[in-house]
Amino acid sequence: MSGLTVLLVDDEELQLLRLKKEAEKVLPSETKFLSFSNPLQALKASKQESIDIAFLDIEMPGMTGIQLAKSLKKIYPLVNIIFVTAYDTYALDAYKLHASGYLSKPVHAEKIKEEINQLRYPVELTGDKKLQVKCFGNFEIFHLGEVVKFSYQKSKEVFAYLIDREGAEININALNAVLWEEDHKSYLRNLIADIQQTLKSINCSDVFIKKHNGCSIDVSKVDCDAYEYKKGNPNAIRMYRGEYMMQYSWPIFEEESYL
């Protein structure tokens, strides 16, 4: 599935810019934003895009947010509508439309996050990157729905550690110390070669970055439940059950920082 598509509509340009800025703080980085100050143009554009969430101002010339929401729901019955307004007089109308949320201006990121976590129609995790990585429960890697299998089981643990470090370059000596008490750097280089060859075979070579004495993961090419959790994705938050890369002894997931 591709990333989220979010519609933002407010006839006041400054409010629209603020809404987008605050939403970007809590939604996944690959989210596609469609911003409009004209609700009629927004409706026209929505017929060309699959909208997951719509943030709508209510009082707008030409078409109110309530009217726009009714039209959007005819196109996408499961669209999540979040009304954004400086007035409380429309709360009943919003309730009748089964809106997902109701925000008061000025909008703040933490309030957006609260509404996203309570969506009426939860949206799924994205899955449009080269690799899909599952960290909750046991660690697993997928490509096109199939499990990625390395020649050595320990190669998978090396990859898991790099995923855990979220793109940070790891020195070979430091990586060796995490995985073994003794010096196994020669074996570790074989594991790195195995990772490179395996990823090359599925056309994902650029996911793994190898430098002279270190390596890392290009996180922009990976869909990962743990990364989505840290971005505040409500589905990832619901998926987490206190278990993170369970087959390994070293992982620590600092969940409290992201709830």
Q: What is the fold, at CATH topology level, of the domain defined by 5-116?
A: Rossmann fold (3.40.50)
- Torsion over CA: 259, 235, 239, 227 (sign): negative
**CA separation for the pair 96, 92 (Å, rounded):** 6
Q: How far apart are CA 31 and CA 28, in angstroms?
A: 6
Domain with CATH 3.40.50.2300 in the chain: 5-116
Q: Please tell me the predicted confidence (pLDDT) of residue 128.
A: 58
Residue type (1 letter), 213: N
Residue 124 is predicted with a pLDDT of 55
3-state secondary structure of 160: helix
CA separation for the pair 12, 107 (Å, rounded): 13
Q: Kindly state the DSSP code that residue 165 receives in the 8-state scheme.
A: T
What local confidence, expressed as pLDDT, does residue 91 receive?
57
| Per-residue confidence (pLDDT) for residue 88, from 0 to 100 | 64
**CB contact at 8 A, 62 and 29:** no
Torsion sign across C-alpha atoms 117, 86, 16, 73: positive
Spans of the chain below 70 pLDDT: 1-3, 87-98, 121-128, 256-259
pTM for this entry: 0.53
Which CATH code is given to the segment(s) 131-258?
Answer: 1.10.10.10
Burial class (CB in 10 A: 0-12, 13-18, 19+), 236: buried
Please, where in the chain does CATH 1.10.10.10 lie?
131-258
Distance between CA 225 and CA 231 in Å, rounded? 10
